[in-house]
Amino acid sequence: MNPFDVALFAAAIRLSVPLLLAALGELISERAGVINIGLEGMMLFGAYAGFLAAYATGRVGLGLLAGIGLGLVLGAIMAFVSVTLRGDQIVVGVALNLLAAGLTLFLYRLQFGGTQPTTVKMEPYAVPLLSDIPGIGPVLFHQLPLVYLAYVLGPVVAYLLYRSRRGLRLRSAGEKPEVLDSTGVDVARVQWSAVLAAGALAGLAGAFLSVGQVGLFAENMTAGRGFLALAAVVFGQWRPYGVVAACLVFGFTDALQLRLQSMGAVPQQVWVALVALGLVIGAVGAWRARRSGSPLRWVLLGAVLCVAVGALGAALVPGFALPSQFWLSLPYVLSLVALAASARRVRAPAMLGRALPVRG
Amino acid sequence: MRRLAVDRRALRGAAVSLLAVVLALAVSLLVIALSGAPVGDAARAMWDGVFGSPAQFGATLTKFVPLVLAAVGWVVASRAGRLNVGLEGQILAGGTTAAVVGLHLSGLPMAVHLPLAVLAGAAGGAALGGIAAWLWARRGVNDFIATLLLTLITTQIVSWLANGPMEEPTGTLGQSSPVADSARWPVLLARTTLRWDIVLVVVVVLAAAYVLRRTVVGYRLRLTGANPSAAKATGTRTRLVGVGALCTSAAVAGVAGSSLVLAAPAGNLAPGFSANYGFDGIVVALLARNNPLACIPAALLLAALRQGGGLMEARVGISSGLVTATQAVVILLVTGSAWLVERRRSRRPAATAAEQPARVTEGANS
């Protein structure tokens, strides 16, 4: 039984979209120097607002807008407390997570008692012509409409950050706010807009979970996806395309995990794929090291590990099943290892987690 | 004169915290009223949940213990300028190692076994904190990113352990067997869940307060948090202080975790036994404005909210989610009003932006 079929890749794309939306927003906010640990909470609120609006009006679009709207409100709270009042960003984020977990639970129970009503949900849209391409078509171009938006969001954010004046200001706010301040730009305002953007995208990501995918709301339905998106920003090393790649990897492991759970033992193909992945990592790493002269140690270690585990797994089959917890923790392990491995070359924005300096 | 100023600042801090709590409670009462539930009944249920009977009060104090410990963990790291967001994970790690010692050693007298299990908890927490500290000091990873990611990983590991290698013999319950009796805290009040581990609170809080305020180590720690460059210039090895603070903080969280296993009625390892105590500990520390002694009243308050919220849910049908949300409002109010307490800073001779130490947490410069 081959787990690598069209359905798996289509699921991987679909699962990575909410991560991508939230993570790109978080990237904008973090590059401006504001870390938003409350991403999980913002997504949960977005999911809730999206569901409510769709439930009340029967329109998916209004649900998504409601998600964005509530995301903006939460972004405003975050920005007001952490930027304007200089409260601790981490702590505000923790508060937002608590607020979302508590308030959505309270309100949802209050409104619907023990029931779990369903509402409208987004229907997949097949792009004409493109969706007919064998292989790629059904995976990339037979998706929910919001997925297509996510495709262009990566390049848009990349353009914004690196090619626009706004992006330059944003990145300066995250690295050296005093310099930005001395050029006459209101740093707090730059950070405000970044945090608002992050809130809107997180709200949209949450609404995608509820009205986009399933058309219902469940308690704690984000189930850690906000933290996953946070990890994706770290794993993507604070670069737009890195974040896109990280979300795809996380979405893929999530899809694979779901598939493998229904299959019991890990099929042979997975181990073979792991060996192949190891070889690719090794080759790409060697090529890049040759070009940039960066040290090879960690990349090689990762490659050898992949090959070894893959070969070992292939030899140990049949009947070997990995616990679901392994797959669930994999994205976080990857992020941490990637961060530790590249710490010399890659670092978080200098102002991340700090309040702006008080102006004398 | 100086002494007076300090006292006034502390007083203002306490007033702001108290006001935040009152305001948040008022808001949630308003929410209850708006939701159409009887406010009086809800408040009475809340009160009964905390003080209604010895059993209820005992249960409140039982929740109080891990809250204080987690809060002190946050205080220790935060005074050194480090943000240990991973208390939750360290609680899980400490509880797990304590459970391992409690399960697998047998035939020891309680006088040996129990302290050993508690120490194992401290070591387990410290080990996890140590990884984060290493990542921070050697690999330049942000402390809050490292501790947060480690928490998410640990959650999965503990869930796997409780459902796999450490599961009780029948393998159906998804949790471990109870630890040996010799490793469990004896009951303090009969017919309540309160056990002797509450002594830990006294010991840890007093120790933290003493070390932070009266010893050279504590002074260097506070100096590192308040002004790293000044600390370095006067010969403090700030990186070492940071590592030490993170590890100590994690060790205290690990002790909290050991309590959640060794003093729990079930006395075993179950997935998610940390029950958000790690994050609530941050709330407590904030309310206490990073003062170890003030953690005690602050934790009592939050423990009461937790415990009373449970009965409120059972009796009046108001979801305990409201209690969680109330805590969030408290945090937002306290964090947002930090500038009220710190107002004096602006009257000092203005430092230029570059020289100004980054204010990592409020209260770090006391």
User: Position A69: which residue type?
Assistant: G
Mean pLDDT lowest among A11-15, A123-127, A343-347 = A343-347
Chain A residues whose beta carbon lies within 8 Å of the beta carbon of residue B283: 94, 98
pLDDT of residue A298: 65
Tell me the three state secondary structure of residue B213: helix
Q: Is residue A291 part of a domain?
A: no
Note whether B73 and B281 are within 8 A (CB).
Answer: yes
- Chain B touched by A53 (CB under 8 Å): no
Identify the residue with better confidence: B49 or B241: B241
CB contact (8 A) between residue B152 and residue A224 = yes
CA distance B260 to A108: 30
What are the pLDDT digits (tens) for B121-141? 999 999 999 999 999 998 888
CA distance B10 to A107: 37
Residue of A95, A105, A335 lying closest to B328 (CB–CB): A95
pLDDT of residue A34: 92
What are the pLDDT digits (tens) for A224-258? 889 889 888 988 888 999 899 999 988 888 888 78
Mean pLDDT of chain A: 84
Q: Is residue A352 part of a domain?
A: no
pLDDT of residue A100: 92
pTM, 2 dp: 0.86
CB contact (8 A) between residue B142 and residue A96 = no
Give Dmax (Cα) for chain B: 69
Share of chain B above pLDDT 90, in %: 37
Q: Is residue A246 part of a domain?
A: yes
pLDDT of residue B357: 47
What is the residue range of A89's domain? 6-261
Residue of A97, A336, A347 lying closest to B146 (CB–CB): A336
Q: Is residue A135 part of a domain?
A: yes
Instruction: Give the contacts of A136 (CB within 8 A, at least 6 positions apart).
Output: none
CA-wise closest residue to A14 among A185, A187, A142:
A142
Window 156-175 of B, Cβ < 8 Å to A: 156-157, 159-160, 163-164
Which pair of structure tokens corresponds to residue A7? Answer: 């359905």
Which pair of structure tokens corresponds to residue A288? Answer: 């890049």
Query: In which element (H, E) is residue B54 found?
Result: helix B54-79
Q: How confident is the model at residue B364 (pLDDT cuts 50, 70, 90)?
A: very low
Share of chain B above pLDDT 70, in %: 91
pLDDT of residue B343: 58
pLDDT of residue B355: 45
Q: How confident is the model at residue B346 (pLDDT cuts 50, 70, 90)?
A: very low
Q: Beta-carbon neighbour count of residue A307 at 10 Å?
A: 18
Q: What is the mean pLDDT of residues A324-350?
A: 78
Q: What is the mean pLDDT of residues B303-307?
A: 87
- Chain B touched by A39 (CB under 8 Å): no
- Chain B touched by A298 (CB under 8 Å): no
A81: CATH: 1.10.3470
CB contact (8 A) between residue B350 and residue A360 = yes
CB contact (8 A) between residue B335 and residue A91 = yes
Note whether B70 and B284 are within 8 A (CB).
Answer: yes
Q: Is the pLDDT of residue B281 over 70?
A: yes
- Chain B touched by A210 (CB under 8 Å): no
* Long-range residue pairs from A293-301, CB within 8 A, at least 24 positions apart, any chain: A294/A345, A298/A341, A298/A342, A299/A341
Q: Is residue A221 part of a domain?
A: yes
Query: In which element (H, E) is residue A142 found?
Result: strand A142-143
HSE, CB side, 13 Å, CA atoms: give it for residue B194. Answer: 17
Q: Is the pLDDT of residue B267 over 80?
A: yes
Q: What's the angle, vertex CA B253, arms to CA B172 and CA A103, rounded to 5?
A: 75
Residue of A37, A110, A354 lying closest to B360 (CB–CB): A354
CB contact (8 A) between residue B336 and residue A224 = no
User: Position B203: which residue type?
Assistant: V
Residue of A88, A340, A359 lying closest to B362 (CB–CB): A88
Q: Is residue A315 part of a domain?
A: no
CB contact (8 A) between residue B321 and residue A109 = yes
Q: What is the mean pLDDT of residues B107-133?
A: 92
Q: Residue holding tokens 């009220």?
A: B340
- Domain count of the fold of chain A: 1
Q: Is the pLDDT of residue A117 over 90?
A: no
Note whether B271 and B175 are within 8 A (CB).
Answer: yes
Identify the residue with better confidence: A135 or B343: A135
Which pair of structure tokens corresponds to residue A115? Answer: 């029931």
Give the domain ranges of chain B: 56-301
Query: In which element (H, E) is residue B102 found?
Result: helix B87-104
Smallest Cα distance from B118 to chain A, Å: 27
Mean pLDDT lowest among A53-57, A118-122, B281-285 = A118-122
What are the CA-CA distances from residue B187 to residues B108, B120, B182, B191, B196 (Å)?
19, 21, 12, 9, 6
* Long-range residue pairs from A6-9, CB within 8 A, at least 24 positions apart, any chain: A6/A135, A6/A138, A6/A139, A8/A255, A8/A256, A8/A259, A9/A139, A9/A252, A9/A255
Residue of B153, B320, B352 lying closest to A329 (CB–CB): B153
Q: Is residue A98 part of a domain?
A: yes
Domain covering B56-301 assigned CATH 1.10.3470 in the classification: yes
Burial A288-302 (b: 16+ CB within 10 A, else e): eeeeeeeeeeebeeb
Q: Which residue of A has its CA nearest to B345?
A: A358
Q: What is the mean pLDDT of residues A43-62?
A: 91
Q: Which residue of A has its CA nearest to B164?
A: A323
- Chain B touched by A332 (CB under 8 Å): yes
Q: What is the mean pLDDT of residues B70-96?
A: 94
Window 151-180 of A, Cβ < 8 Å to B: 177-178
What are the pLDDT digits (tens) for B217-261? 999 999 999 888 999 998 889 899 999 999 999 999 999 999 999
pLDDT of residue B350: 44
User: Position A189: which residue type?
Assistant: R
